[in-house]
Amino acid sequence: MAPSIRLSPAARSLFDEPLAIAVQGLGPRQQVTLRTSLRDETGELFQASARYQADDDGQLDLARCPALPGGSFSGLEPMGLLWALQPQKPFWRLVKRDVQSPFLLQLEVLEGHGERPGRLLAQAQHERAFLRDGVRRVPVREGRIRATLFLPPGEDNFPGIIDIHGFGGGLLEPRASLLANHGFATLALAYYQFEDLPQKPKELHLEYFEEAVNYMLQHPQVKGPGVGLLGFSKGAEVSLAMAAFLKNITAVASLNAPVAATCIPFSYKDKVIPTVTLYEHQAKATNSKFLDYSDVIDDPFQAPGNQSLIPVEKAEAQFLFIVGQDDRVVKSEYYATEVCKILQAQGKGNFHILSYPGTGHCIDPPFFPLYPIGSHPVFHKRAVLGGELRAYSKAQVHAWSQVQAFFKKYL
């Protein structure tokens, strides 16, 4: 019997879902290398490989068989061939622009464990999709709002979430589309550098975000009385400001948030939150010649009555702070801890912190590759963003399940 790859689900799975990988038809105790590859929408290649040995019956099941040293990872890691994918082009990030098309994953079984790949024994293709059958993608151009709404299948009404990305502008849909697969009506909201939105806003007007909240609550398929917010980095900072000043925000999941206004001030009616000072000269060069910017933000907790600190204590919402202990862009663990001390001092218990070791600034849904060094969101220089491969892969899976559980509980 010729070797073959057995996948479950067989042909197509969602990007954030586990994929079971097995090989049958090998020789007893045969040594093989498994390799995965995927090209992004620009054609850049991501690859991972691992060394294995078949069992006495010539079977190899990644759920039961540990990878041997010498590949992208070792040990019992059933999903290692997905989470260990790394770009062939240095410092390249895997981004999905068109969520309506899947990524195509290639799997190969190669003979032996040599430095050079051996003979090809088996291969398979698999689609990693962002939309479950029946999920609807609705472009939203209502009033000033520029967004995409993802609605789960069916005519029911669903808990509503607004998904807000970090610095860099544009409209990013992967996280919102994946959340919709799990039963949430999710609005991926752009707020600058997209279509007719400002390219370089002087202020972020919370009235714009208020319009998005009202749009969601007026939608016949969004279950009120409030909405959830899921924000990353600057988007998490926006989410905290929304919760502090706007009505009808029930739950906020914050991924590595600055808790003070950074780079762009907020305004709401006659109130302005000025930005915290950044000291670019405090960036440190690391041994690898990349810059570490983790100390450039002025500590908003050191000056009493700091005007740039977001008054989170005014919010009625429940908060879930998700922080990477190795975040080199924002001191997110310190910030979350200090904010929760303020809430506690006011007699509030509306918060929970999830803190992940070996996890840097970028916390994506499961199985997106680690992006530890890249362009700094503010200074646009090559910088350490933080994170370590195996720890990050575990954090992604755990945090994603916790975000969904949090929104199911409070929405």
Residues marked active site are found at: 233, 327, 361
Of 122, 159, 100, 127, nearest to 38 (Cα)? Answer: 127
Strand partners, 67: 75
Which region holds residue 232: left if phi is over 0, alpha if psi is between -120 and 50, else beta?
beta
Of 153, 217, 166, 167, nearest to 187 (Cα)? Answer: 217
Strand order in the sheet with 185-189: 136-142, 145-151, 185-189, 158-164, 222-232, 249-255, 318-324, 351-356
φ, ψ for residue 53, nearest 5 deg: -130, 130
Exposure of 53 by Cβ count < 10 A (0-12 exposed, 13-18 middle, 19+ buried)? middle
- Cα distances (Å, whole numbers) of residue 124 to 5, 22, 34, 101: 6, 11, 11, 19
Extended strands (E) in 101-168? 103-111, 120-129, 136-142, 145-151, 158-164
Is 237 in contact with 258 (CB distance < 8 Å)?
yes
Angle at 51 between CA 50 and CA 53, to 5 degrees: 140
Which positions ≥6 away from 275 have C-beta within 8 Å? Answer: 260, 261, 262, 263, 264, 265, 308
